[in-house]
Chain A
Amino acid sequence: MSSDTCSPSSNFSGTGRAAAIELKRIGKVYRVYNRQIDRIRDALFPASRVQYRKYHALADVSLQVEQGQTVGIIGRNGSGKSTLLQVICGILQPSSGQLEVRGRISALLELGAGFNPEFTGRENVYFNGAILGLSREEIDACFTDIESFAGIGEFIDRPVKTYSSGMYVRLAFAVAINVRPDILIVDEALSVGDTLFQARCFAKFREFQEQGVTILFVTHSMDLITKYCSRAFLLEKGHLLHAGPAKDVVDAYNRMLVEQSATEDARKAEERPQPEREEEQMDPAAALMAHQKKSEQEFRFNPDENRYGNGKAEIIRVGIYDEEGNPRQTLHHGRVYDIVMEVVAREDLVNPILAYTIKDAKGFDLSGTNTFFHDIDTGRMRAGEVLRTVFRQRILLVAGSYLISFGCAAFEAGEYVVYDRRYDLMTLDVVSSRQSVGLFDPDVEIALSRPGVSR
C-alpha cells in the first residue's frame, strides 16, 4: 500500500465550509425499566406496551461544527458532555433528532479503551487501528509515526499492563491522531500526560487545524478552551445553554458557576444545624466525637485521604469558614476565609507545629504555611488538650478545584517528628467572575489613560 493512506483524506477539502458534524434536535432518553425483561420486550416487540420511566441525558441539542474547526464542549460533571460525544461517535443511539457526521472519526473517549493489558504496545496499536477500520498495511505505514510520537522507547514491545498512566495515554493518543482522522474527538484524556507531551499534542492540534481536521474536545480547563478552540458549547443538564465564540462561552460558564455556588451556599447555610451549646458539659471523649461529627456534617471530605503520623497528636477537626463564620467549600476569589484546624494532644507536647498546604488537582503545591514559618510559639500542650489554629487569608487562587492538606508535627530533640498528617483531606473549589492566566490572580488593577496624541 502506498504511503498516502496515511495522509489526511481529502474527502471534502475544497468544498469550503461544509459542516462536519450536524445535530438537529438530538435527544437522548434513557428508559428506566422496572424489570430487565421489559427492556428486551420493548426492544424486540416495539408494539408491546411496556412501562418505563424516562431519564433525559440530552434534550433538544442542535449544533453544527464546521469542517476544520476546533470546538470545545464545557459543562459541569453530569451535564451530558460525554453522552454528547458518544452520540456523535455513534456509540450511543440518539432517541430523537437527526445526526450527520461527515468523515472518519477517531475518538479518544477513555484512556486506552480497547487496550488489552496482557498484550504489548505494538499488538495493541495494530488492534486499535483495526477497530478504527484500518487494514494491516495501513497501520504498517503509520507505525513509525505512532511509535515516535508516543516516545515510549522499548516499552512498545512490553505488555501494556507494565505501563505508567502517562505512557498509556501517550500511546493511546499517538494511535488516535496518527491514523489521520477527519474528525478527532477527545474526552479529558489529555490531562493525564505530562506537560511536554501535552505541548506535543497541541502542536499536533495546530497541524490538524491547518489540514482541515475537525477537532472536538471536552475539558475542564478553560485555559485550553480559550487557547485552542474557536468555538465552544456549554451544556447544562442535557441542554445546550450556549454556543458561540470560545471566550464568550467560557465567560458564561464561569458566570453560571458563581451564581450556582451562591445559591448552593445559601441553601447549605439554611440546612446547617444550630451550634450545640452543651458541648462543654459533656465528658471530653464524647465532646471530641461530637466535635468531629460536626465537622463531617459541614464539609465533604475525601475518603481517600492519605493519613499518617505517630499519633502523639491528632487532627480532629478542620474547616473553611467565610467572614460570617459560614462553612464554605466553594470559595470566591478575592474574599477572606479562615482555614481552621483543631488538634488534640494525646501526650504532653512541646511547641507542636500546625500546617496546611493547598495543591492543585495535579498534586502541585501552590501555597501553604505553618506556625513555625510564622515564628509562632504554640507552647506546651498537656495530654487531652485541644488547640485551635485559624489561618486567615485572602484567596487569590484562580478558579479551579484544589486539594487541601493538614499536618501537625514538631521538633523533638532536633528531629522533625510527624504526629498526624492528613493529606488531601478536603477538596475546595474556587470560583471567580473573571478569567485569568496562570495559577493565581493577584487582583490586578488596570489603569488606562490617553496622554495626548503622538504625531
Chain B
Amino acid sequence: MQQLGLGFYVTDDYPTAVVFARVAARRLGGVPFVVNIYGHNFAQLTGQEVAPAWWWRIADDSPLITDFDYLTAQVVGYPDSRQIKFNPRAYHTLAAEISR
C-alpha cells in the first residue's frame, strides 16, 4: 500500500531514502540499496502537491494518477521528509544510475 497510490516513489533526501531502503529490505529480504533516479526534462513535467485528505486513498484511475506526471507530499510519519511519486505516464522520463 502506498501513500500516493500507484507509481514510482523517490525522495530528494538521502537519509530518508536509506530509511525506506532498510524497511524494504526487511519486508522483502536482501540488502538495502539506494540508487539515483533522474527525470529527463523534469521542469516540463506536470506535478501536483497532494493534500493529506487524499493520502492512502488514491484510486488507480484517479485524475491525480492520470492527469499528472508526478505527485508530491510529505512522507507521513517522517515530518521533515518529502516524496515525489512518478505516475506511470511519466515512467519514460526516468533513468536510474547505480553508483559503484
Please indicate whether A and B come from the same complex rather than being unrelated chains.
no
- Residues of chain A having any CB pair with chain B under 8 Å: none
- Residues of chain B having any CB pair with chain A under 8 Å: none
